[in-house]
Structure 1
Amino acid sequence: MNAPAHFDAPDRLLRLPEVSEMVGLSKSMIYRKMRDGSFPAAIKPGGVSTRWKESEVCRWVEKVSENRIVGSHHG
């Protein structure tokens, strides 16, 4: 039995330093944006560890980049 295509590449769970490096934001800014709903929510896979789904962080980066490009056009 074949697994659906979206299970072929599991979504990595990123630690805060990886997320911070990917998005160029500090820890406090990431948590502030999470609270106001403008950044993907973290998950707690167990214990006290906090992780973010790589796909969600990548989508956020793409969305922010698209907004910046669209917003930078003055016509």
Structure 2
Amino acid sequence: MPPDQDQLLTVTDVLNVTGFKSRTTIYRRVRKGSFPCPYHIGAGKIRWRSGDVEEWLNSLQPRRY
């Protein structure tokens, strides 16, 4: 994870950090409210704050078997 909390991540960066397999998964989770919303930075560009994604990752509960 990038050290700068305000760094803007592309959808490809988010896929690499989270391990999600598709853009559809990200946008579906955003619609359901279970993933941070992206920011529209103009000209059709969408980015996520690295701090928001890191916070989301830290909030995940470990799976117990």
What TM-score, normalized to structure 1?
Answer: 0.74
Pairwise mapping of residues 13-24 of structure 1 onto structure 2 (< 5 A)?
A: 13-24=8-19
- Paired-residue identity, %: 31
Higher fraction of helix:
1
- Describe the SS at the equivalent of 1:72: coil
Structure 1 spans left out of the alignment, 5+ residues:
1-8
1:36 aligned partner: 32
Aligned length: 61
* RMSD of Structure 2 on Structure 1 (CA): 1.5
* Structure 1 runs of 4+ with >4 Å offset: none
Q: Which has the larger radius of gyration?
A: 1
Instruction: Between the two structures, name the one with larger relative contact order (CA 8 Å, sep ≥ 6).
Output: 2
* Greater strand content: 2
Kindly provide the CA deviation profile for residues 32-53 of structure 1, in whole angstroms up to 9, marking residues without a partner as x. Answer: 0000000000010111001000
Q: Hey, what does 1:72 align to over in structure 2?
A: 64
Counterpart secondary structure, 2:42: coil
Alpha-carbon distance in structure 2 between the residues aligned to 1:23 and 1:12: 16
In the TM superposition, what is the alpha-carbon distance from 1:72 to its structure 2 partner? Answer: 1.2
